[in-house]
Amino acid sequence: MLVMMQRNATPQDIQAVCDAIQVLGFNPLPMPGALRTAIGVAGDDGQVDTSHFEGMAGVASVLYDSKPYKQVSRDWQPEKSLVSIGHGVVFGGTEVPVVAGPCSVEGEDEIVHIARLVKAAGAVALRGGAYKPRTSPYAFQGLGEEGLRQLALARSETGLPIITEAMDERQADLVAKYADCIQLGARNMMNFSLLKHLGRLGVPVLLKRGMSATITEWLLAAEYIMSEGNRRIILCERGIRSYDTATRNVYDLSAIPVVQRLSHLPIIGDPSHGVGIRDAVPPLARATVAVGADGVIVEVHQQPDKAWSDGAQSLHPPQFEEMVRSLLPIAEAVGRSIMGAGTAVV
């Protein structure tokens, strides 16, 4: 951190800043310049609240080396983390898992049926919502524990591990009983109480990026989970808020190589929520693998026109099958392979 003093800052102003730095337990390093003085803060590891200084007399601005996260960083652990969700599905290795399923669990027959279809097409894990975060209180909110039971049935029928969302601590405790990986959704990325709870639960977490979260904030959300002892975190880019209504979100694929440089955690992409337009999902899934993501998650529905939610972005099963097939040579081109699907489909 570096505190830039104003040109007309007095020696007293400078001393006051140096004193404030020492009060916080760090060493001030004043650097008088031609026009103004800058004061370095040595030993700062991201914990200092810059607002301590921004309002002090004579301070022009505070420059900040913004990497306040620790355990999730490559500095802390240079080698990539491998995160297993069981049933042989590991994120972060050379094999790229494809996760698929409907937006919402809509019934026992439906979820078992779609689970079989996506498995046959190459998916190695099943997604599906039992608890749905809906903007309107009058929209369908999910089947709840009955939905979890149906997901577990689909797993026992297909062997696919389950990823499903929880929106509060009670739901998380229940989801942990049924599912293999708990999804923490975009709207709750800064629900710090829930992040800590997931850290204590110890179940693998799929941590979606918040609607307008910076990469730093996202990694700090992961740090919340990890600081409670849970290291099994998979990051998921799912699009950020934009001013353009032509797509549901802006699917930020740049985040994938950037996060991979900053953090050892595996990171996957969700083009279904990223773009929100069915026909754009397969090309963006290919781009997701090409950019080096550690996995892809998409929505698939038997009859998207009749889906209870997210119909417009759900793939038809034949589209999904064709999409997975198209990912194989892309993965190969970047020195990886699509998990499981290779043998089944080609």
Among 77, 84, 302, 326, binds its own copies (CB under 8 A): 326
Helix axis angle for 169-178 and 145-158, nearest 10°, is 20
**Quick one: which segment of 79-87, 92-100, 112-120, 210-218 binds its own copies (CB under 8 A)?**
210-218
Identity of the residue numbered 123: A
Closest to its own copies by CB, 95 vs 223, is 223
Q: How far apart are CA 188 and CA 206, in angstroms?
A: 12
Burial 327-336 (b: 16+ CB within 10 A, else e): bbebbeeeeb
Among 91, 178, 308, 320, binds its own copies (CB under 8 A): 308
* Residue 337 binds to its own copies (criterion: CB under 8 A): no
Among 235, 289, 297, 298, binds its own copies (CB under 8 A): 289
Work out how close the CB of 219 gets to its own copies at its nearest, in angstroms, rounded to a whole number: 10
* Residue 76 binds to its own copies (criterion: CB under 8 A): no
Give just the sign of the alpha carbon dihedral 262, 266, 269, 273: negative
Q: How far apart are CA 171 and CA 228, in angstroms?
A: 19
Work out how close the CB of 154 gets to its own copies at its nearest, in angstroms, rounded to a whole number: 23
**Angle, vertex CA 42, rays to CA 41 and CA 47, nearest 5:** 75
Q: Residue 251: name the closest of 270, 279, 226 by CA.
A: 270
Residues 111-170 that bind its own copies (CB under 8 A): 133-140, 167-169
Work out how close the CB of 46 gets to its own copies at its nearest, in angstroms, rounded to a whole number: 7
Closest to its own copies by CB, 90 vs 275, is 275
- How many chain residues bind its own copies (CB under 8 A)? 116
**Angle, vertex CA 68, rays to CA 63 and CA 72, nearest 5:** 150
- Encoding tokens for residue 5? 């003093």
Work out how close the CB of 140 gets to its own copies at its nearest, in angstroms, rounded to a whole number: 8
Residues 14-53 that bind its own copies (CB under 8 A): 16, 20, 29, 31, 33-35, 38, 40, 42-43, 45-47, 49-53
The answer to whether 250 and 242 have CB atoms below 8 angstroms apart is yes
Work out how close the CB of 59 gets to its own copies at its nearest, in angstroms, rounded to a whole number: 9
* Residue 63 binds to its own copies (criterion: CB under 8 A): yes
* Residue 3 binds to its own copies (criterion: CB under 8 A): no
Pairing of strands 37-42, 2-5: antiparallel
* Residue 211 binds to its own copies (criterion: CB under 8 A): yes
Q: How far apart are CA 318 and CA 121, in angstroms?
A: 8
Among 12, 65, 146, 229, binds its own copies (CB under 8 A): 65
Residues 173/177/183/184 CA torsion (nearest 10 deg) = 10
If phi > 0 it is left, if psi is from -120 to 50 it is alpha, else beta; for residue 324 that is: alpha
Burial 57-88 (b: 16+ CB within 10 A, else e): ebbeebeeeeebbbbbbeeeeeebbebbbeee
* Residue 279 binds to its own copies (criterion: CB under 8 A): yes
Residues 242-271 that bind its own copies (CB under 8 A): 242-247, 250-258, 261
* Residue 7 binds to its own copies (criterion: CB under 8 A): yes
Work out how close the CB of 296 gets to its own copies at its nearest, in angstroms, rounded to a whole number: 12
Residues 82-101 that bind its own copies (CB under 8 A): none
Work out how close the CB of 99 gets to its own copies at its nearest, in angstroms, rounded to a whole number: 19
Closest to its own copies by CB, 56 vs 153, is 56
Among 14, 296, 307, 338, binds its own copies (CB under 8 A): 307
